[in-house]
Each structure stands twice: as structure tokens, then as C-alpha cells.
Amino acid sequence: MKPLLLLAVWTSLAMAAAPPGIPDGWSDGFVYANGIRIHYYHAVPAPGKPVLVMAHGATDNGLSWTTTTWDLQAAYDIYMVDARGHGLSDSATAADTNDTAVEDLVGFLRAVKLSKPILMGHSMGAATVMRLAAQYPDLPRAIILLDPGLGVPVARGAAPPSAAPPSVFPALLMSGAPESLVAQNNRSFDDLVAQCRQQTPKWDPVDCQYWALSKKQFHGSYFERAGRGGGMSIADMLGKITAPTLILKADVPPDVRQANEAAAKALQNGKLIHVDDAGHNLHHDQRKRSVELIAAFLKGV
């Protein structure tokens, strides 16, 4: 190879970003629960502090909580779990239902011997935490739900006031044929980071790095019906939850806010707050405000 061409190759390789590793002071591991290996991350250990377990959204992984965890880890002993089909946990199966995710998380808590943890979930993870708290009301000390679905139509309020400009990047797949999902895994890390930066300009650059890593690791679901099932309505679930509950919802128009607040009245011991100028990923869009609300709530539990 000619010297100039070799130099160009070396330069190109040097400029390509590498996916980030585990933050300093953190650790990770596996447990076997509910028939699969479940992978998790543990932030800087905080012995004697309340335990906080985080459940991420669809196509994300445990490290998607990194910046939020940095803000909270001094006061809490934090575990971040990779859901099945995500991160380094085992794959989903065609038999999975919504209850499967609940039993995965319950199995993890029992395997690690975590007693009365605070549970926090975002999106898909919020649905899991909500269902868990309804089915196992004595298990959590408190729960925090970040933009869960509450059965309220959101067509008019789907985008916050500061929505990002239209993307020139391909849409992300949450399920589909294995070939399509593998093609998504094979997208370059740099391209995924660029997509995140364009679509979510308010996010911390670290959030985009771990977002990109999570998309390369996502490996499910390949099955059209995976993740369905479970007969409880959202109102039934909310009504069965006895643990103190905080629901943070994205910024939406007044009529949708009112509908969300009406749905949250089913809670026995909880409150709902809309986070202004935040979209579905409110803990990234408005991280400081979200963490303030979470911290204030946890002081009372």
C-alpha cells in the first residue's frame, strides 16, 4: 500500500469513534432469572443508601440511564437492568407477554436480593414497573414512571413545543424481521450518534453515545406478537398500586394534560406532573428539571 493511502486509512480509523464503555466506578454482571440470563449495571456502590432499580425503554439499554444515574448515585444505590432482547440480556421469544417483562424484573430483584427497592421506569420500562407494582404491591418502596402510556389519545400532543427538525436518517425499528434488525445493528456507531444529535439537540452528548450503543445491541423482538398479553387495564393497574408513585409526563396541550391528570386520579397514593418543553425522553430533554422532581419526590419516601 502506498504511504499516502496508508496514512489516509490510519487517519480514517483514528477519527472513527468507539462505543463507550462502562463509566468509572461502575460494574456489571448477570443473573439467571425467569429462564434467561439478565444483564445489569451497578453504579458506584452506596452501602446503606436506598436501592433504586431502573428499567429502560424499548430499544434502549441499562446504560441509557447514565447521566440520570450520575445525578442521583450519591444518594442512592443504583442498578440499571437490560431488558430481555436489549443490551447484553438474552433474547426475547415468541411466547413473551407483558407479564414476562414483569417476571424478569421480579426475578432480577430476587436474584440480587434487593428488598423494598425504589423502581423507576421509562416508556416500556414504565409499563413494566406499573404492572409489577399492581401485581406485587408490597414489593416496591416507591415507583417513578417516566412518560408511561395512560390510555390517553396523544395525537394532538405527541411532539413538544421544541420538537427537532425532520430527520434525514432512517427510522428506528422496534420489531421486525431478523434481517432488518441485524442491518440496524450493523449501522456505524458514528452514524447513530449523528442521528441522535440531529434529532435530539437538547440531549447531553453522553446520552447520544449510549443511545447509539443501545441500538447496536438491540436484538428483539423478531416476533409480531411478542410483548402482548395481560388482561389488566391501565386504570385497574393504577388503582391496585399502593406504593407512593410519581408520574412524569411529556409536555402536551392542555386537553391532553387534563386527560392524563384524570387518568392519574386512579392512584391511591401518587401524583402526576407534566414536564414543560420535554418530549417522550423527558429525562434527557429536560434532565435537570426531571432530576429535581425525582429527588424531591424521593425525599418524602
Q: Which tens digits make up the pLDDT trace of 164-202? A: 556 668 888 888 888 888 999 999 999 999 999 999 999
pTM of the model: 0.91
Amino acid code (one letter) for 145:
L
Say what percent of the chain tops pLDDT 90: 77
Query: Would you list the domain boundaries of the chain?
Result: 23-155+235-299
The span from the CA of 116 to the CA of 145, in Å, is: 17
- Please provide the CATH number assigned to the domain covering 23-155+235-299: 3.40.50.1820
Amino acid code (one letter) for 264:
A
pLDDT of residue 171: 86
pLDDT of residue 16: 60
Closest residue by Cα to residue 211 from 232, 224, 197: 197
**Per-residue model confidence as pLDDT tens digits over 274-286:** 999 999 999 999 9
Q: Pick out the chain residues at pLDDT < 50.
A: 1-14, 156-158, 161, 225-227
The answer to whether the CB of 101 falls within 8 A of the CB of 128 is yes
Burial class for 141, CB neighbours closer than 10 Å (0-12, 13-18, 19+): middle
